[in-house]
Structure 1
Amino acid sequence: MDDAYGTLLSSLAIPNDKRIVLLVMDGLGDCDNAGKGTALQIARKPNLDALAARSALGLLVPVAVGVTPGSGPGHLGLFGYDPIVFQVGRGVLSALGIEFALDRRDVAARLNFCTIDSAGKVTDRRAGRIPDEENRRVLAKIRAALKPPDGVEVFFETEAEHRAVLVLRGDGLDDRIGETDPQQTGVPPLEANRPPYNTSQTAHQVADLIRQVKTILAGEPKANMILARGFAKYPDWPTFAERWKVTPAAVAGYPMYRGVARLLGMPVVSRPTTAADVCAEAAKALRDHTFVFAHFKYTDKTGEDGDLAGKVKRIEEMDAAIPALLAAKPDVLIVTGDHSTPPTLKAHSWHPVPVLMAAPHLRGGDGKPFDEISCRSGQIGTILSKELMPLALAHAGKLEKFGA
């Protein structure tokens, strides 16, 4: 598929010393939670509201209207890569996030440990969010008993909590493999080699591996099965620095988001997880980089757990932390999310995501608090996420004029 828009914008990009920060509060967007209001509306956030009052506001559509994005497409759009054109499975992102040395023969997948009942139906898609040490113990048990396919190396690696990475390495492997996560409880996992994936030899190999894992883990009280998704091979894409003529850095605590950064050649300079540390480390990174991607996970995690009060609390933590980032005086500061995660849905959703951009050359500030309702009438309007990066570059003087 043609990347005409991205190619045009990349051809206009020029380097300068202006500094841009993209602060991603993962899963920030919300709906009205059965009349209670969105988490942004409920939260007490004087610093973010004051920033919004002097900034440009708007809404982002991560992929297309009505499309619920995964975290990979959500972030690629924010980075100015059309997620419809640049598609990659989550397995590659997770593998890169844990610094697994992928090569071009590999196929990678993201795994969730899950809990199944005696009938083989999923009762908990995250196995109670087992701790990392339990994850490592269970993977060691799998490695000790698993019999790989002939000519194929199989790697199981811990990511975090209930998440792990599966990598198959061998000649002639493909990524035409069905995801096994049914995305709901009360049903059995899907088959990796179901139609139309039954024409792939690799899919049959994966299905056999999963059957072995089910047997190996049969006695485990929580993590007694795996769910696999995002099967992918390593793509060959232009780097972020090449595309936008900046010196980028990533500040991200969770492996998945470090993986998205590394996929685009963006060095990870720090791994904070708390709001305070994310802002402090982003401020430090600005000293040596002209673009900083800073990621905060917990607004998404609380949304997926259906915890509205927890999501509000995490927003308030970021509000208390953001003055440290403002003190570093970025020339352009964007605060947004990669997608919406309403607590009432306990999942990603299709809702447009609020965005705030503090930058020079605005048409004045929008003078409103930072929430989904205020952002509907902001000067940015409702745009595709892939259009946000060019807008930030333009305000930072990093795009040349197009045409004579």
Structure 2
Amino acid sequence: MKYALIIPDGCADEPQQSLGGKTPLQAAQVPHMDEIARAGTVGQTDNVPESMPSGSDVGTMSLFGYDPLVYHTGRAPLEAAAQGIELGPDDWAIRCNLVTVEDGKMASFTAEQISSELGAELIELMQRACCGSENWKFYPGVSYRNLLVYRSRDGKAPFADDTFTVPPHDITDQPIAEHLPMGSGACDLRNLMEKSVELFAECEANQARLEKGEKPATQVWLWGQGKAPALKPFVERYGVESAVITAVDLLRGIGQLLGWEVVEVPGATGYIDTDYAAKGQYAIETLKRKDFVVVHVEATDEASHEGDADAKVEALQRIDADIVAPVHEYLRNQGDYRILVCPDHPTFLRTKTHSHGFVPFAMCGTGIEAGSAESYDEVAAAASGNVLNEGHRLMERLFGRCND
């Protein structure tokens, strides 16, 4: 039996006036996702417990079959794993975005997709100027996504469970003063954020972006702190050898912690311009040697963060044509299989941020009886009456067994 999970990140949404009162999923031409819905079952799943912040770290952990209320410790440690950064039992990882703040508001949580080269230069400035202690170290990542690690030397750390931070993508166009770090360690984080304002203003390469009509990075934004989680290997829970295809460090990190192969795809960007067709072809090649492949596409989520309904529809159509279609065709032709399409969480165009709530799923394949749904979208899923209040149970349905 072969299995595939395709994640159009954050694709679940509300009806849009600009789309004739339809959701992006309803407005998009996605005949291959609709085919999965007709051939199998559709339903709703809630991947993010109400008590937890909505984000891909929580949502994908649920999708992969791990209860986030039990296993989730924070977003940053998952991304640290993707970079091969090992955390000791008392170490903390903190996500470090390069952002643009204008007039006290979050103008861009990506510093307009700043280049990795310039990002690394800014992170190095922070390391030299702010981290005289051996406890702190900045790690450059991809574009605006970077990390800060606190190494505990005495079993103590400035952070605790009451440390509260806010993802910058949740406060687009909002005043930042209301969303600065709070609780234990907040002063350390705020001081680093304030210091970065001065350093970035003095960086000539950063300020040169203004001459090109681009936004400079004005500071770092620290959030998503946590310790390393303890995740039981996926093969021990479900008995299948697995791989993940993604351009996002968060998913790479979860995959590595679960013991999955992380497949790198040329042209995969983690943005709207990603190479959809390459992801589809690499998924097929991976299925020839693995039992289970996860294909994650960030483009739909990024479109919502930018409030671009047309881009979200286009991304869905590309996922359908270039990933779902060829992967499903391959699976059908090779023998017994199951395929699942499901986002991790809703990301609303209206708010430009992640939200709690149900997302639609569609699954078909060997041993799955066809229901009455004619399409894959939020309305069809809601009408099905097939509801999973605990999203981590969906993986059990895909593999047809319970693994608690």
**Structure 2 partner of 1:70:** 55
Task: State the Cα RMSD in Å.
Answer: 2.5
Mapping of 1:242-253 within 5 angstroms?
A: 242-253=236-247
1:161 aligns with 2:143: yes
Contact in 1 for aligned 2:341/2:362 (Cα 8 Å):
yes
1:342 aligns with 2:343: no
Shift of 1:290: 1.6
Give the Cα–Cα distance (whole angstroms) in 2 for the partners of residues 235 and 66 of structure 1.
18
Give the Cα–Cα distance (whole angstroms) in 1 for the partners of residues 83 and 329 of structure 2.
31
Shift of 1:67: 6.6
**Structure 2 partner of 1:387:** 393
Shift of 1:41: 0.6
Closer, same or farther: CA 42–67 of 1 in aligned 2, 3 Å: farther
1:94 is paired with a residue whose SS is helix
**Structure 2 partner of 1:11:** none
The amino acid across from 1:327 in the alignment is E
The amino acid across from 1:227 in the alignment is W
Contact in 2 for aligned 1:56/1:379 (Cα 8 Å):
no
Mapping of 1:220-259 within 5 angstroms?
A: 220-221=206-207, 222-259=216-253
Closer, same or farther: CA 180–55 of 1 in aligned 2, 3 Å: closer
Query: What percent of counterpart residues are identical?
Result: 26
Question: Which of 165, 170, 173 pairs up with 1:179?
Answer: 165
Shift of 1:312: 0.4
Q: How many residues matched? A: 372
- TM-score, normalized by length of structure 1? 0.84
Give the Cα–Cα distance (whole angstroms) in 2 for the partners of residues 312 and 268 of structure 1.
28
Question: Which of 13, 20, 37 pairs up with 1:52?
Answer: 37
1:135 is paired with a residue whose SS is helix
Contact in 2 for aligned 1:97/1:255 (Cα 8 Å):
yes
Question: Which of 1, 4, 7 pairs up with 1:24?
Answer: 7
**Structure 1 partner of 2:213:** none
Q: Deviations over 1:357-376 (max 9, x none)?
A: 01222332434111111112
Give the Cα–Cα distance (whole angstroms) in 1 for the partners of residues 368 and 51 of structure 2.
29
Higher helix share: 2
Contact in 2 for aligned 1:127/1:223 (Cα 8 Å):
yes
Mapping of 1:310-321 within 5 angstroms?
A: 310-321=311-322
Q: Deviations over 1:309-351 (max 9, x none)?
A: 0010011111211222013216110011001112122111123
1:142 aligns with 2:142: no
Closer, same or farther: CA 376–116 of 1 in aligned 2, 3 Å: closer
**Structure 1 partner of 2:212:** none
Mapping of 1:1-400 within 5 angstroms?
A: 18-34=1-17, 36-64=21-49, 69-117=54-102, 120-149=104-133, 151-158=134-141, 160-171=142-153, 172-173=156-157, 175-176=159-160, 177-179=163-165, 181=167, 183-184=170-171, 185-189=173-177, 190-192=179-181, 194=182, 196-197=183-184, 200=185, 203-219=186-202, 220-221=206-207, 222-271=216-265, 273=268, 274-321=275-322, 322-329=324-331, 331-378=337-384, 380-394=386-400
2:71 is paired with a residue whose SS is coil
Contact in 1 for aligned 2:359/2:378 (Cα 8 Å):
yes
**Structure 1 partner of 2:272:** none
Closer, same or farther: CA 180–217 of 1 in aligned 2, 3 Å: farther
The amino acid across from 2:126 in the alignment is I
Structure 1 range deviating more: 303-312 or 380-389:
380-389
Contact in 2 for aligned 1:332/1:357 (Cα 8 Å):
yes
Structure 1 range deviating more: 357-366 or 256-265:
357-366
- TM-score, normalized by length of structure 2? 0.84
Give the Cα–Cα distance (whole angstroms) in 2 for the partners of residues 336 and 392 of structure 1.
12
Q: Tell me, which stretches of 5 or more residues in structure 2 are unaligned?
A: 208-215, 269-274
1:253 is paired with a residue whose SS is coil
2:294 is paired with a residue whose SS is strand
Contact in 2 for aligned 1:175/1:233 (Cα 8 Å):
no
Q: Deviations over 1:223-265 (max 9, x none)?
A: 1211111111112221212222221211112212111212222
Give the Cα–Cα distance (whole angstroms) in 1 for the partners of residues 164 and 9 of structure 2.
26
Closer, same or farther: CA 232–313 of 1 in aligned 2, 3 Å: same
Closer, same or farther: CA 122–363 of 1 in aligned 2, 3 Å: closer
Contact in 2 for aligned 1:115/1:123 (Cα 8 Å):
yes
Q: Tell me, which stretches of 5 or more residues in structure 1 are unaligned?
A: 1-17
Give the Cα–Cα distance (whole angstroms) in 2 for the partners of residues 191 and 367 of structure 1.
45
Contact in 2 for aligned 1:179/1:228 (Cα 8 Å):
yes
